[in-house]
């Protein structure tokens, strides 16, 4: 943790940026800063442009710059005005992202890995557009209109193509509960993917869109890994073995299956998800990275923080999920990774834990780009 003694979230947020960084020995500090400057860093699941904010402005650009991130996979959620996850509203949000970030913030939109590499060379930050919503609403229900090919069975699949054309590159179409595609992680029973779900997997493979199973049930995730011709992503989760009650985290079985098909799991920074200790923070993120590296190696782990600028632990939806899983709201905030601004602490902790430069490079960016390269057309 950044400080030996516990301080409240309010006190923590008053600290200058430098004081929120993990304290390292001078030699390690210099090396960590060099890595932050030189490495391509990717956050697989960001909510930096989100309604849950402590800021009056719509986007805290200076704090995003402090993160040092090369690429943020910025996520279209229900965005506060699309509670029914309607396709047209979701498509409008994707279009809005492609216009808002370049025009108002000078941040490029990344459509391919080359765009991320270019952003690093030109010292820019870039956005890759992602989405997590109920795919049965966004894409459309799996209704059988005719007999024959999947296209005839499921006429709404073309919407996936249209979202890709608008700029969407990563999609998580099962949001915790059951829909026409498959079962989510909080559903009472887990029956896996439906026939429609398999058609969705095939269509995403065809166009080169990343399949994200972060909110899916165990069997649905395993079905996707087996069915997909390309690596599957878990953008923001962790190792369930470390917090067995948290079904939003992934089991050893899933992590092994993911790794065997060259997939990647991003470790999140959500309070009370990675631990049930009174004090939680960036060290808990590293604990889950350590576990996954020991389990399947360093080539299959990345970072997807899933944290907001506001008081994440106090969000009603966060407390609802925690209570539904019979977990406790123990920590009021994540020390050292309460927001994207403290992203450098991930690299600083990895340095402090003895990871090599090559291993750190893989965890913070290379593993993500390798998966993208295999998936994108």
| Inter-CA distances, 121 with 30, 150, 221, 251, 313, Å | 21, 43, 36, 38, 37
Element holding 351 (H helix, E strand): helix 344-352
Res 191: pLDDT: 94
In this structure, of 190-204, 245-259, 308-322, the range with the lowest mean pLDDT score is 308-322
Q: At what angle do helices 26-38 and 344-352 cross, to 10 degrees?
A: 130
Q: At what angle do helices 252-260 and 218-227 cross, to 10 degrees?
A: 10
Query: Tens digits of per-residue pLDDT, 221-244?
Result: 999 999 999 999 999 999 999 999
Whether the CB-CB separation of 109 and 129 falls below 8 Å is answered with yes
Q: At what angle do helices 87-105 and 158-166 cross, to 10 degrees?
A: 10
Whether the CB-CB separation of 196 and 145 falls below 8 Å is answered with no
Mean pLDDT computed over 9-13 = 94
* Residue 14: pLDDT over 70: yes
For the chain, helix (H) and strand (E) counts, in that order, are 16, 11
Mean pLDDT computed over 289-307 = 97
Query: Tens digits of per-residue pLDDT, 308-337?
Result: 888 899 888 889 899 999 999 999 999 999
Mean pLDDT computed over 73-91 = 84
83 against 369, higher pLDDT? 369
pLDDT-based confidence at 52, cuts 50/70/90? low
Exposure of 8 by Cβ count < 10 A (0-12 exposed, 13-18 middle, 19+ buried)? exposed
Q: Is 212 helix (H, G, I), strand (E, B) or coil?
A: strand
Res 315: pLDDT: 87
362 against 59, higher pLDDT? 362
pLDDT-based confidence at 293, cuts 50/70/90? very high
Res 55: pLDDT: 57
* Residue 53: pLDDT over 70: no
* Residue 144: pLDDT over 80: no
Q: What are phi and psi of 185, to 5 degrees?
A: -70, -20
97 against 79, higher pLDDT? 97
- CA triple 290-295-298, angle to 5 deg: 60
* Residue 54: pLDDT over 70: no
Whether the CB-CB separation of 160 and 209 falls below 8 Å is answered with yes
Dihedral over Cα of 7, 11, 12, 16: its sign: negative
Whether the CB-CB separation of 205 and 230 falls below 8 Å is answered with yes
Res 51: pLDDT: 60
| Inter-CA distances, 338 with 3, 132, 319, 372, Å | 14, 22, 17, 27
Res 267: pLDDT: 98
Right CATH number for 24-375 from 3.40.50.150, 3.30.420.10, 3.60.20.10, 3.20.20.140? 3.20.20.140
Res 57: pLDDT: 63
Query: Tens digits of per-residue pLDDT, 254-282?
Result: 999 999 999 999 999 999 999 999 999 99
Q: What are phi and psi of 333, to 5 degrees?
A: -165, 170
* Residue 371: pLDDT over 90: yes
Nearest CA to 160 among 168, 148, 151?
Answer: 168
Res 141: pLDDT: 82
Residue 313 structure tokens: 């632990």
Share of the chain above pLDDT 70, in %: 94
Nearest CA to 70 among 128, 130, 131, 132?
Answer: 128
Residues linked to residue 116 through DSSP beta bridges, in sequence order: none
Mean pLDDT computed over 31-37 = 98
Res 38: pLDDT: 97
| Inter-CA distances, 201 with 171, 179, 194, Å | 11, 15, 11
Query: Tens digits of per-residue pLDDT, 84-122?
Result: 889 999 999 999 999 999 988 889 999 999 999 999 999
* Residue 172: pLDDT over 60: yes
| Inter-CA distances, 210 with 7, 94, 170, 368, Å | 40, 16, 5, 11
The 8-class DSSP code of residue 201 comes to H
Residues 6+ apart with CB under 8 A from 320: none
> What whole-number distance in Å separates Cα of residue 160 and Cα of residue 142?
13
- The domain spans of the chain are 24-375
Considering only CA atoms, give the Rg of the chain. Answer: 20
Res 155: pLDDT: 78
- Mean pLDDT (the chain) is 93
* Residue 124: pLDDT over 60: yes
| Inter-CA distances, 291 with 44, 63, 298, 339, Å | 19, 30, 10, 23
């Amino acid at each position: 943790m950044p400080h030996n003694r516990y301080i409240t979230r309010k006190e923590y947020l008053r600290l200058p940026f430098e004081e929120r960084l993990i304290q390292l020995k001078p030699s390690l500090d210099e090396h960590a800063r060099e890595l932050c400057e030189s490495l391509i860093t990717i956050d697989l699941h960001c909510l930096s442009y989100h309604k849950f904010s402590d800021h009056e402005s719509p986007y805290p650009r200076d704090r995003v710059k402090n993160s040092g991130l090369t690429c943020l996979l910025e996520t279209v959620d229900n965005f506060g005005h699309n509670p029914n996850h309607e396709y047209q509203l979701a498509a409008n949000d994707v279009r809005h992202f492609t216009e808002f970030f370049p025009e108002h913030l000078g941040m490029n939109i990344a459509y391919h890995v080359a765009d991320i590499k270019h952003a690093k060379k030109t010292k820019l930050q870039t956005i890759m557009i992602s989405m997590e919503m109920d795919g049965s609403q966004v894409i459309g229900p799996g209704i059988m209109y005719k007999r024959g090919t999947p296209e005839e069975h499921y006429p709404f699949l073309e919407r996936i193509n249209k979202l890709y054309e608008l700029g969407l590159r990563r999609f998580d179409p099962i949001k915790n509960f059951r829909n026409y595609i498959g079962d989510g992680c909080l559903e009472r029973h887990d029956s896996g993917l439906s026939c429609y779900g398999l058609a969705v997997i095939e269509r995403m493979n065809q166009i080169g869109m990343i399949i994200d199973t972060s909110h899916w049930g165990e069997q649905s995730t395993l079905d996707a890994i087996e069915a997909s011709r390309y690596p599957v992503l878990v953008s923001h989760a962790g190792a369930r073995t470390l917090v067995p009650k948290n079904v939003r985290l992934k089991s050893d079985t899933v992590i092994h299956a993911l790794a065997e098909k060259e997939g990647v799991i991003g470790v999140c920074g959500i309070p009370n998800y990675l631990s049930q200790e009174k004090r939680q923070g960036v060290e808990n993120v590293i604990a889950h990275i350590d576990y996954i590296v020991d389990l399947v190696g360093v080539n299959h782990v990345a970072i997807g923080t899933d944290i907001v600028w506001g008081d994440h632990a106090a969000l009603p939806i966060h407390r609802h999920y925690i209570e539904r899983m019979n977990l406790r709201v123990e920590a009021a905030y994540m020390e050292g990774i309460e927001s994207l601004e403290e992203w450098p602490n991930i690299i600083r902790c990895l340095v402090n834990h003895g990871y090599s430069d090559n291993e750190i490079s893989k965890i913070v960016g290379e593993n993500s780009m390798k998966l993208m390269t295999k998936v994108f057309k």
